[in-house]
Amino acid sequence: MAKKILIADDALFMRVTLKNILEKNGYQVVGEASNGLESLELYQKTKPDLVTMDITMPEMDGITAVRELKKIDPQANIIMCTAMGQKQMVLEAVSAGAKDFIVKPFQPDKVLEAVQKIIGA
């Protein structure tokens, strides 16, 4: 059975890009959230194996969303998505509970490497 992934990013283009990379490689995208609040709701509905979480989003940013997700499910697997130059935010996200991060613009091999490291193929 395909591993389930939830994508959280306020940019539709980024969600579509990630979804294409993941689905072409056998993962099932079970939801797309455009902000941190939506990601929390969808997480509880879809129970994904992994969440890709953008750092900068409206309503609730990615770091706050990671903290809230970890309260809901301490075992949640989260990969942060970051633009270059957000090192401090990435460190904060990892200390909040994220397991890895990928840098935009997304490179398919880097995305897959991070996902496989955490949840396997």
Among 77, 94, 104, which residue's Cα sits nearest to residue 6?
77
Helix (H, G, I), strand (E, B) or coil at 47: coil
Cα(4)–Cα(86) distance, rounded to whole angstroms? 27
pLDDT one-digit tens code per residue, 8-29: 999 999 999 999 999 999 999 9
Domains of the chain as residue ranges with CATH: 4-119 (3.40.50.2300)
pLDDT given at position 98? 97
Please tell me the distance from the alpha carbon of residue 43 to that of residue 21, in angstroms, as a whole number.
20
- Please write the tens of the pLDDT for every residue from 55-107: 999 999 999 999 999 999 999 999 999 887 778 888 999 999 999 999 999 99
Task: Say how far apart CA 52 and CA 102 lie, in whole Å.
Answer: 9
How many C-beta atoms lie closer than 10 Å to residue 117's C-beta?
A: 11
Looking at residue 84, its pLDDT comes to 76
